Amino acid sequence: MRLNHREKTFIAAGLAIAAGLAVYLFLVEPLTKRVERLRRQNAAAQAELTELRILADQYRALTAAKTRVKDRPAEQSPGLTPFSYLENLARETGLTGRIESMTPVASSPAEEGRSAPAEVDVRLNGIGLLELVRFLYRLEEGDPGFYVVNLNIRPRYLKPAVLDVSLRLAAPRSS
């Protein structure tokens, strides 16, 4: 069977359309979807990278601040002990009768070239949240350079606004 010129043209056009459709369905469309998915993943990865850089900067700043606080020498007067400083601070912040106990803690051995920090456990009974915040603020901003190592706050059962607080405080020893 012989095909005339017109029929050959239609068959060639049909084959060209089928080939174009096959190329689009099996090559172009999957590649387009993959490129779009990779662009979305790249944008998400860039956002995560930006967030990680911000967090890394914050971590470095906090680590430097921690090192500064731990390494600053105790700037206390010669006769001022941590206990007398804490008693004075309690009197200034209105917690005079609320200190149940102040106990020194056996310190770990010092690292190379550093003296071990002096640590004190302090128990405060029956204080309000505002009094605690004032005490902690004055403590950390004070001259001897105390910082809080551990803090436990327990509200009382019958009066939740009244707190019992246990603190472990540390201050660099004077060299």
- DSSP state letters, 90-131: HHHTT-GGGEEEEEEEPPPPP-TT-PPPEEEEEEEEEE-HHH
- What pLDDT shows up at residue 2? 85
Name the pLDDT band for 175 (thresholds 50, 70, 90): very low
Mean pLDDT of 138-164: 83
Q: Which stretches does DSSP call E strand in the chain?
A: 99-105, 118-127, 147-155, 163-171
Distance (Å, rounded) from C-alpha 28 to C-alpha 33?
Answer: 9
CA 155 vs CA 54, 78, 122, 144: distances in Å: 36, 38, 17, 29
Q: Is 152 left (phi over 0), alpha (psi -120 to 50) or beta?
A: beta
Q: Which stretches does DSSP call E strand in 6-146?
A: 99-105, 118-127
User: 163 with 155: CB under 8 angstroms?
Assistant: yes
For the chain, the average pLDDT equals 83
Strand partners, 118: 171
- The predicted model scores a pTM of 0.51
User: 172 with 82: CB under 8 angstroms?
Assistant: no
Max avg pLDDT among 92-96, 97-101, 162-166:
162-166
- What pLDDT shows up at residue 103? 86
